[in-house]
Structure 1
Amino acid sequence: MRSPVRPGPEGGTTMAKRQAPTPETSDAPPAGDAGWMPSIDAGKSVKYTAIVQSMEEAIASGRLAEGARLPPHRELAARLGVTVATVTKAIADLARRGLVDTRRGSGTFVVGLAPAEAPPPAASDAPLDLAVNRPLAALAAPFLKDALLALTGAEAGDLFGYEIVGGNAANRATGIAWLAERGIVAGENEVLLTQGGNDGLLAALQAICRPGEAVACEASNYSGIRRLAQALGIVLVPVATDRKGMSPEGLEQACRTQAIKAVLCTPVTHNPTAVSMDLARRAEIAGIVRRRDLVLIEDDIYGHLAGEAGEPFFCDMPERTIHVTSMSKCVSAGLRVGFLAVPRTLVGRVRDALYTTNWTAPSLHAALAARLVAGGAARDLVEAQRAEALVRVARARQIFGPALDLEADRASYHIWLRLPDHLRADEVSAELMRAGILVSPAHHFSIAGTAAPNALRISLGAVADRGLLEQALTEIARRIVGVQMAVGAIA
């Protein structure tokens, strides 16, 4: 998986970036639309590529002159009949190629093509990491840059003192708005700020369980759950899953044989299997939780990215559900902000649990989140991440075919690939690592006492370049699927 010239995001080579004329020294007029404004096909699923290709051709031909200032994103979106997120994604792509330069308060300027004799980037010996599970960082970069630049003056100074654990009123207001995107109506006294989803899960488990008590969870699960359980001294009871998530029969069996205190589950885009519960399955699980008088810890970290995926458990059972969410899987992995929606009877215990690992709220990250949510950028960015994830999942489906366990219309940055019986996941993972491709074998996610499925989790967001991602996926398929590959690039 080595290449002397690293492809750009759409398969072309990455061009060396040139410095755009500065707004202070340039009287560049706005770029007119004659000859370069793209024509968007209403039936085209990935519209931003038309914008990128049209502008790249216009810059190469000189129709878009070096130093020209592009129209604002919202104006471009309105003229093209697309969303602001689509335009933002296209401009970010052009910026990564070194064709435009965006400057806060001044606009976006055409940089122009690099000289033909510019040397190519050096080859990288680093493996392609399809093991780490995160959204595409390059999509988030311009949004986070704008939010960071906005945090200046007195407000910035206030972000480096001690702040109440669980968040102040402004932090909780951000959480209320973020949770509302998932259909959750929560009051200020029912929302707590956390330093990401893992922090929220730790607080929820510690608030509900004492050492030695048992929590039922999916038999294959987020690997951090095992570490949290070990730190808290609680027992994880594995429950079988199927293509609709946690098995009701398996949960009933666990409740009959163990003194279960709580149920922990991921109803949307389960990690690692990527399956989601339908409404009927949610109703069955909720019924068991009520009959057994349990608390349900709902890990909804992928809910925003997946979009419309059924009503969260908190909406149906707010009196016995702790809803855990964050921005790490749908906005940016490094934005360590999460929120809990908690029954009022449990808020005090959960806040006390947060003090175990926190002595102050994540004020700086919370301020960034507030900027993104209040200005609508968070919603635009989630839409852009969702669109990108859908493109990558669609191509993975073409490459791997029925070996993938994933719903066709569900956005996800990870996929679950079941292997044929004659192959072993550990051996395939080791072989791929020697070839320069990192993936996660199923045993990484298995709860103690269960046999690991013969499968691999493959992450689609850590490799920014679509061309390199497709090379890696094709190589994986060549080694394990052994069928004629679908032809065509990720577009």
Structure 2
Amino acid sequence: MSETKYRQIARVIEQRIDNGHYPVDTKLPTHRQLALELDTTPATVAKAYQLLTEKQRIASHVGRGTFVCSTGSLSDVIHPTEEDGSYNLSILQPCLHYNVAPLSRAFQQATQTLPLDLMGYTEHSGLARHRMAGVAWAKQYGLVGGCAENTLLVDGAQHGLSLLIHALTKPGDTIAVEEVTYPGIMAIAKLADRHVVGLPMDQQGVTVSGLTEVVDQYKPSLVVIVPSHQNPTGITMPVERREQIAQVIARHKVWLVEDDIYGFLNEEPIPAITNFVPEYGFHITSLSKAISPALRCGFVKVPSSQLAHIEAHIRTNIWLSSPINYAASSLLIESGEAFALAQKQKEIAQKRQRIAHDILPTAEAATSSVSQGYHLWLPLPQGWQQDRFVMEAKSRDVLISSGSYFHAQESRDHHVRLSLMAVATEEGLKKSLTILAELLAKPAETVFPF
């Protein structure tokens, strides 16, 4: 068997995956079918498939066949900057131009006469007044029980997630996440050699029965839940479901990480899950979605039994988050301006959701609870593969995120996630959504006839 031949075949298959001919989750031809097409032997195709399996481009399932894997990284899901002439609907961030002036003033005030305590090392994970600002921020949106002693400072919610996963689990452990979830969680787990298992969801979020079954069967060391305006589905978990989830956590004595960075978007404050299970719950929030991702200001409320352990991880990892960033953020929180900025972003999101529902033909089929969220989890019409739709949108200068990157486990659903906030103007948003609406109206086979 020629090594060159099977490697050539592997390259052909990879090219078909990359150009969308074989989208994520597509079942590949059998060894015999592809051998006939490429004028080779089934054994040569089998070796090419083995090579691609080792590269994690494809996966074989006994009795079902071979399928294309999702290999996307965070850079495939979110494009931090808009390319020339493109509309970026891929990244979840506030409409930043509204926040530039107040944030600039806060930094000027914080650094006008730079106090010594902002320039050196501090005890714990930061200054007490900065931790108390985090307490005030989280309390405003539904968390109770926070104080300067149990609230720690981290470099944003992503750092908080990574910190807790490394501190509370070990390589080879299982982490339970929502069955469709923020890819950043899965990226952390993959790099840290933790296994991920998906939690079944319904229109109210993680189901109680699903959580119970997963905990019983897989014995996860950690459960991660995004309870408000969940990324990507947009679901907000009601109070009763939060209480029920907390009961399961307490009964099984498993750690809960509650990633509540979108809590400020709720119409009224909703009690955090952690409120009902403080001895097992770690609550994360940050200012990234309400004010600016560049602040890197995150707050983690930690059970008293784990404070020393988590503080030690922070000192080992970063020593402390920048006091200067927290000084500016604390000024905004203490003055009340941070809450006003969050309210403004919520109003913008509500308006942009209405625009999206007016323009997009399948928006009404999306989860109804996203009426004031930053994004839309959009189902695709029959015939459209999600990765192919993303490619076609990009060719029309609209950047969106394929639903294939959000699944903790294999799925046949076809969605794309649209951020409604990153495009600076309403005019730009309307143009980009109109482009998508026109694409959605086309039968898939007329766009890629193969």
2:322 aligned to 349, 362, 365, which one?
362
Per-residue deviation at 1:233? 2.3
Per-residue deviation at 1:460? 1.0
* 2:297 paired residue number: 337
* 2:175 paired residue number: 215
In structure 1, C-alpha distance between the alignment counterparts of 2:116 and 2:412, rounded to whole Å: 50
Q: Does residue 226 in structure 1 map to residue 186 in structure 2?
A: yes
Per-residue deviation at 1:287? 2.0
2:139 aligned to 180, 184, 190, which one?
180
Contact 2:189 2:195 in 1 (8 A): yes
Per-residue deviation at 1:436? 0.2
* 1:102 paired residue number: none
Contact 2:127 2:323 in 1 (8 A): no
* 1:287 paired residue number: 247
* 2:446 paired residue number: none
**Residue identity in the other structure for 1:404:** A
* 2:95 paired residue number: 136
Taking a change above 3 Å as real, the CA distance of residues 150 and 347 of structure 1, as seen in their structure-2 partners, is same
The DSSP-based 3-state class of the residue aligned with 2:317 is coil
* 2:392 paired residue number: 431
Per-residue deviation at 1:230? 2.2
Q: What does 1:25-36 align with in structure 2 at a 5 Å threshold?
A: none
Contact 1:133 1:413 in 2 (8 A): yes
* 1:114 paired residue number: none
* 1:440 paired residue number: 401
Per-residue deviation at 1:429? 0.4
In structure 2, C-alpha distance between the alignment counterparts of 1:322 and 1:481, rounded to whole Å: 44
Q: Does residue 403 in structure 1 map to residue 365 in structure 2?
A: yes
Deviation >4 Å, runs of 4+: none
* 1:375 paired residue number: 335
| The 10-residue stretch of structure 1 (471-480 or 430-439) with the greater mean CA deviation from structure 2 | 471-480
Taking a change above 3 Å as real, the CA distance of residues 431 and 376 of structure 1, as seen in their structure-2 partners, is same
Per-residue deviation at 1:269? 0.6
1:412 aligned to 358, 367, 373, which one?
373
**Residue identity in the other structure for 1:262:** L
> Deviation per CA, 1:293-346, whole angstroms, max 9, x where unpaired?
112110001001334252101211111100000000112121210101111111
Contact 1:163 1:361 in 2 (8 A): no
The DSSP-based 3-state class of the residue aligned with 1:325 is strand
* 1:168 paired residue number: 127
1:127 aligned to 76, 81, 86, which one?
86
Q: Which structure has more helix as a fraction of its residues?
A: 2
Taking a change above 3 Å as real, the CA distance of residues 286 and 482 of structure 1, as seen in their structure-2 partners, is farther
TM-score by length of structure 1 reads: 0.70
Contact 1:190 1:341 in 2 (8 A): yes
Contact 2:154 2:320 in 1 (8 A): no
Per-residue deviation at 1:266? 0.4
Q: Does residue 348 in structure 1 map to residue 308 in structure 2?
A: yes
**Residue identity in the other structure for 1:161:** G
| The 10-residue stretch of structure 1 (339-348 or 239-248) with the greater mean CA deviation from structure 2 | 239-248
1:147 aligned to 69, 94, 106, which one?
106
**Residue identity in the other structure for 2:91:** V
Taking a change above 3 Å as real, the CA distance of residues 153 and 210 of structure 1, as seen in their structure-2 partners, is same
Contact 1:442 1:452 in 2 (8 A): no
Contact 2:347 2:372 in 1 (8 A): yes
* 1:22 paired residue number: none
TM-score by length of structure 2 reads: 0.76
* 2:237 paired residue number: 277
Contact 1:406 1:415 in 2 (8 A): no
In structure 2, C-alpha distance between the alignment counterparts of 1:329 and 1:153, rounded to whole Å: 26
Q: Which runs of 5+ in 1 are unaligned?
A: 1-123, 484-491
**Residue identity in the other structure for 1:418:** P
Taking a change above 3 Å as real, the CA distance of residues 351 and 138 of structure 1, as seen in their structure-2 partners, is same
Identity %: 29
Contact 1:403 1:418 in 2 (8 A): yes
The DSSP-based 3-state class of the residue aligned with 2:382 is coil
Contact 1:132 1:462 in 2 (8 A): yes
* 2:48 paired residue number: none
RMSD: 1.9
| Alignment: residue pair count | 358
The DSSP-based 3-state class of the residue aligned with 1:373 is helix
